[in-house]
């Protein structure tokens, strides 16, 4: 009987030590302060990408399959999206080593 309890204790201990705990809530979020994207949905060939600091921004646009369909570096706020066909995209903006993502709908 003691051997059974000992074996169960060993299996339970090994099982607990093999698992790593990860808390997503405690990870630092490096969002770009004051990030805004408009108009969204976009009906024209230009959208505005606004941030608090409004510095040089690297913009990548991904399609629904995760493929990069547009890469552009902008210094102000206007992003030319005339090459995009109507659909849903993910816009990734990087400024001062901080990154923000937003859904962009092109009509």
Between CA 32 and CA 36 the distance in angstroms is: 9
pLDDT in tens, 50-98: 999 999 999 999 999 999 999 999 998 999 999 999 999 999 999 999 9
Whats the size of the chain, residue-wise? 107
Residue 23 has pLDDT above 50, yes or no: no
Between CA 85 and CA 73 the distance in angstroms is: 20
Mean pLDDT for the stretch of residues 40-46? 96
For the chain, the straight-line distance linking the first and the last C-alpha, in angstroms and rounded, comes to 71
Between CA 25 and CA 1 the distance in angstroms is: 43
Q: What phi, psi does 39 have (nearest 5°)? A: -75, 150
The ranges assigned to domains in the chain are 29-106
- The correct CATH number of 29-106 out of 2.40.37.10, 3.30.1050.10, 2.60.40.3080, 3.10.20.740 is 2.60.40.3080
């Amino acid at each position: 009987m003691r051997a059974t309890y000992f074996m169960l204790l060993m299996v339970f201990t090994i099982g607990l030590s093999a698992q790593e705990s990860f808390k997503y809530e405690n990870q630092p979020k490096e969002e770009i302060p004051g990030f805004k994207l408009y108009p969204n949905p976009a009906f024209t060939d230009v959208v505005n990408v606004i941030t608090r600091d409004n510095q040089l921004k690297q913009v990548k646009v991904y399609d629904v399959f995760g493929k990069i369909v547009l890469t552009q570096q902008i210094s102000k706020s206007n992003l030319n999206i005339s090459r995009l066909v109507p659909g849903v995209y993910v816009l990734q903006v990087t400024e001062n080593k901080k990154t923000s993502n937003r859904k962009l709908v092109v009509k």
